[in-house]
Amino acid sequence: MGTGLGLSIVGVALPQVIAKYSPDGWRYAWFLLGGLVCIFSFVCFALLRDNPADKGTAMYGGEEKQRSYKPLTFFSAWGDVVRDSEIWKLGIVYFMFGFSYILYIIIAWWKNTTGFYVSSIVFGLSLSSIPAIMAAAVGDSVGGRLAPAALGFITLIFGIGQSLGPAVAGWIKDSTGSFAWAFILSAVVSLMGAAGAMLLRRKEKPSISG
C-alpha cells in the first residue's frame, strides 16, 4: 500500500514541479525526490530495527526456533549471503525487474487510448507484487536470520538495474529518435526475468526424524 500511495503522490506532484520549472523541471523533480529520500531515511533510522526484539515485539507467526547459531555481524551476514547461489539468482531476476519496469512495455505496440488504459491496469496489478515476492523468497532461501541482509543485497542489485534502465533508454532514444526500441528492450528483459524466475528452487526443509 505504501508503494502505491507513494507513486500516486509522485504522479500528482511531479508534473506540477516539472511544468513550473520547465525546461529543467525534471532536474528539480529529481532533487525533490532525493531530498525526500534523505529525510525519510532518518525517519527509518529512528523507527526501524533489524530485530523485532529490539522493539519489544516478535516475528509474525512466532519467533524463529533458536539453534546454536554463531553471532552475526554485518560482514559475516553479507559474506554468508553472497556465497548463496539462490540469492544471486534472485538478484539477477530482481535486476531485470528494476531495469525493465520503468520503461513502460505495451504502449510500444498499442498506441491509442485503449492501449494506455490496458497498459496502466496491467502495470498497476503487477508492479508491487515483485518486491513482496522477493522479500518472501529471500526468507525461504536463507532463513529469518539472514533475510534482512539478503533482501538488502538483492535490493542493491535491483537499484543498479533501476538506474541503468532509464540511462539505456535515453541512449536508445538519442540514437534512434524514438523510444519504441527502448520499450521493446524493456519487454525482452522483463520476459528474460520471468524465464529466470523459473530456474529458482525452493530449499527443502530438513526432515525431523523420531
Single pTM value for the model: 0.66
Quickly tell me which residue has 534523505 as its cell.
38
Query: Which residue has better confidence, 199 or 159?
Result: 159
pLDDT at position 119 over 50 = yes
Domain check: are 114 and 181 in the same one?
A: yes
Same domain, 90 and 191: yes
Examine the domain organization and report whether 141 and 98 are in the same domain.
yes
Burial of residue 61, with CB atoms counted within 10 A of its CB: 0-12 exposed, 13-18 middle, 19 or more buried:
exposed
Q: How far is CA 47 from CA 55, 72, 74, 131, 199, in A?
A: 9, 22, 20, 21, 37
Helix, strand, or coil (residue 47): helix
Do 42 and 92 belong to one domain? no
Q: Are residues 103 and 33 in the same domain?
A: no
Q: Contact, 149 vs 79, CB < 8 A? A: no
- Calculate the average pLDDT of the chain: 80
- Count: domains in the chain: 2
* 118: CB partners within 8 A, 6+ apart: 106, 110
- Asked whether residue 210 is domain-assigned, the answer is no
Is pLDDT above 60 for 63? no
pLDDT tier at 210 (50, 70, 90 boundaries)?
Answer: very low
Say if 93 falls within a structural domain.
yes
Instruction: Supply the pLDDT for residue 84.
Output: 83
- 43 and 114 together in one domain: no
Q: Which of the two residues, 44 and 125, has the higher pLDDT score?
A: 44
Percent of the chain with pLDDT over 70: 82
Domain interval for residue 151: 80-202
92 within a domain of the structure (yes/no): yes
Answer yes or no: are the C-beta atoms of 112 and 175 closer than 8 Å: no
158 pLDDT band, cuts 50/70/90, is very high
Same domain, 149 and 95: yes
Rounded distance between C-alpha atoms, residue 51 and residue 62, angstroms: 13
CA distance to 47, 66, 73, 111, 203, per residue, from 70 (Å): 27, 11, 10, 57, 21
Query: Do residue 115 and residue 28 come from a single domain?
Result: no
